[in-house]
Amino acid sequence: MDQTANIINPDSNMPISTGRPSNTLSTSKPPEQARSFPSSGFTALEADRLVEEEELPDYQAHRFYPVHLGEDGAISNDYWTLFVLTGPDGEHVVLVFEAAQMSLRDMKLVFQPEGFDERLVRGAITELLQALDFLHTHAEAVHTDAKEMTSPVPRKLTATRTIYLSRLMRPKEGPMLLSDFGEARIGPGPHGGDIMPLEYRAPETLLYIGWGYPVDIWSVGLTAWDLLEPKKLFTARDEDGDLYDAAHLAQLIAALGPPPPEFLAKNAERRADFWDEHGNWLGLAPIPHSRTMEALETRLGNKSGFLRFIRRALSWMPEKRATAKELLKDPWLTGEEV
């Protein structure tokens, strides 16, 4: 559990799961009684194996509450509960959701590796944007296990904490849930610090400038792309498979064109690492000119509406990205494109 205040998720490619919606932060139902969980019968993972939050590039153990299944907490029977736990490294804000099902990312990996049907993608992105519009407009936040009693999940035991593996649940029909609020920030920003998985990082995070709600819109664009297409738009890797910021920026240039001068002027010191004073690319990584959106989009007969939608979400300048409310009216999303 992350120590950061929780509510939009720049830490991810917008995890969405199937499940029932929640519309309350509090509940009148009494908390459940503490349960007795099994202390054996599970697989103990290797001590040197990185799992779950340890796989994050900027993982710091003190930011995660050392939870132990079965310890007392203000867990209710309702869909969404918020409370605070105090651990050895301070207070941790906790959001508890109803157990979700398989994420769309996992569903695609297992069932549709070549990409979902366009209609499903439209529906999923619509529900995601509705959730983000609520968070940005009303909550003023930047987003960044059912079977444990009889079948304990594998876990990693260390001297200071236990890390439990997540459990996949079979998908069922139902509305989408926006989840994984561990890196969320309260307020419109600007906020600072590294966020988002490497290949999903928005340009402002790569240039080390303050970020806010528009990073979520960037994530929406990449989520829509990933759900529809078999290959990622950005990998942040060069042709040899090496992962680094220059390779990521080179891919952004190939897909979006060169950054405008006003974007580079936001951090002249960081700009100088990759561009000269006139905005010319220094060539720290080759620009993969073949990685245009038009070339990488391979599934749609008429791709113009989809690519217009993506370009409204993916722009160098954060302030020029459409808002969640504006994207909800986009012709591609509403099915009204000509």
Element (H, E) at 295: helix 293-296
Q: Are the C-beta atoms of 239 and 291 separated by less than 8 Å?
A: no
Residues comprising the chain, all counted: 338
- The rounded distance, in Å, linking the Cα atoms of 65 and 97 is 17
Q: What residues pair up with 156 in beta bridges, in sequence order?
A: 163
Tell me the two tokens of residue 300: 């749609």
**167 to each of 21, 144, 146, 151, 318, how far by Cα in Å?**
20, 22, 9, 11, 36
Q: Is 145 a catalytic residue?
A: yes
Q: Active-site residue among 145, 180, 194, 226?
A: 145
Element (H, E) at 247: helix 245-256
Q: Are the C-beta atoms of 8 and 186 separated by less than 8 Å?
A: no
Q: What residues pair up with 157 in beta bridges, in sequence order?
A: 162
Task: Tell me the CB-side half-sphere exposure of residue 54, using CA atoms within 13 A.
Answer: 16
- Does the bond joining 214 to the residue before it have cis omega, within 30 degrees of 0? no
Place of tokens 């007392």: 72
Catalytic residue ranges? 145
